Structure 1
Amino acid sequence: MTFDAIGIAGTGLTVHRKWLDALSDNIANLNTAVAPGDEAFRERYVLVEEGSRSPGVYVAGTALGDAEGRLVHQPDHPLADENGYVRMPDIDFGSQMSQLILAQRGYQASAGVVDRARNAYEAALQIGRS
């Protein structure tokens, strides 16, 4: 039972780490401008599914947001077109930061489960030695 808890929490750690990676990539590219005719940076999403053969959650893949982005008037930008527009990602910073907090707390919760299960296993070993 303890090993199951460690394994399941370990899958949660992996999923939350991948989610944190995607969010940090989104935040880092929030202000990445391209020429209006090019594709904007596409927001990264982590797709998660419940394990079918073993308990836990797993990263099923990633999805990308819209490449259209949004046009921003920045006539002094080197990539601006003749009308002064550049294409920026359509990523909401507030939403990304909220998700970052959720992913961080989920990671911390999974790490706490691993620690508690390990402590319970060590206590059971000590009882067995007595």
Structure 2
Amino acid sequence: MSGIFGVLGISGTGLTVHRKWLDAVSDNIANINNVTSTSNDAFQARYIIARAVDYGRGTEGAEVGGAVFSGRTQGKLVYEPDHPLADENGNVRYPDINLGDQMGNLIMAQRGYQANLAVVDRAREAYQAALQLGRA
């Protein structure tokens, strides 16, 4: 992705990674109150793994290396005897997701997305200014 337009490509990869991160955090927050019976697994938070393209050997940007799940299938047992999914002891299972952690991740992903978008805007303006100089 080298050359005059490399910055657009690199920032584009950053936008993609941060968008995927935002999607994962949004999904985690949307499912934070999912209730299931104690015989089923709780919703697991999803986390995005970001890595450098070519493992940092070049200037190609970033990519999503995959997604991992929290692995906390036990969730939190909550005593809600009136809930239709409650077991014989009155317990239901909620995901073990910390809203504060998710909000922190949301802010970081949003700021990263905004920063990459600002780079794209600045590069576009610089390229347009260079074209105007060429026309003069």
Same fold by TM-score greater than 0.5: yes
Report sequence identity in percent: 57
Inter-partner Cα distance in structure 2 for 1:111 and 1:87? 40
Aligned partner (choices 51, 60, 70) of residue 55 of structure 1: 60
5+ residue gaps in structure 1?
A: none
Aligned partner (choices 83, 105, 129) of residue 123 of structure 1: 129
2:21 match:
19
TM-score (norm 2): 0.92
Matched, 1:105 2:111: yes
1:88-129 alpha-carbon deviations (Å, 9 max, x no partner): 100000110111011111100000000000111111111111
Inter-partner Cα distance in structure 2 for 1:93 and 1:87? 16
SS in 2 for 1:38: coil
Q: Is the 8 A contact 1:2 1:117 kept in 2?
A: no
CA RMSD of aligned residues (A): 1.1
TM-score (norm 1): 0.96
Matched, 1:37 2:30: no
SS in 2 for 1:105: helix
SS in 2 for 1:87: strand
Q: Which runs of 4+ in 1 moved over 6 A?
A: none
Q: How many residues align?
A: 130
